[in-house]
Every structure is written in structure tokens, then in C-alpha cells.
Amino acid sequence: MERIIENILKDDFVEYAKVYELEALNGMSKKEVKIVKKKLGIQTVTSVKQEERLWLWYIPKNIWSRYLLRK
């Protein structure tokens, strides 16, 4: 289960609804996704534009690796 979420997020930001959608296709419940989210240390960032909100999930160590390698 962990590997599936890691493959979805890789080293990018992904909307939380998309993560749940893909996990449902792999037979995972929302409860299982939340458990794996905590275990992997997945973080959430919220982007706000007027009345709209976008919740993005990411794995901090993967994001750091992605941007540090660009330097």
C-alpha cells in the first residue's frame, strides 16, 4: 500500500482527491490511505485563490530531493 501512494506522489504535489481516487482503484479505503499518509510523513499544503481552496499532498523528502538536484 505504501509503495502505491509513493508512486502516485513521487516528487511532486498531487491534489488529495486525486490520491483518494487512485487509491480507490487499487482497493484501498480512505482509512487505509490516512494510515499510510501518517506512516510516510506526507504533508499537505493549501493553496487559496479567492473562494477556492486546493489541498495538495507531498512527501517532503522527495520534494527536497527534486529541487536540490536542480541546483
Contact 57, 19 (CB under 8 A): yes
The sheet carrying 14-15 orders its strands as: 14-15, 52-58, 43-49
Q: What are phi and psi of 5, to 5 degrees?
A: -65, -40
List, for residues 22-60, the tens digit of each pLDDT value: 999 999 999 999 999 999 999 999 999 999 999 999 999
pLDDT at 71 over 60: no
What's the whole-model pTM score? 0.82
**Domains of the chain: total:** 1
Predicted pLDDT at 27: 92
Predicted pLDDT at 68: 75
Predicted pLDDT at 35: 94
Please tell me the number of Cα atoms within 13 Å of 39 on its side-chain side. Answer: 11
| Range of the structural domain that residue 17 is part of | 2-69
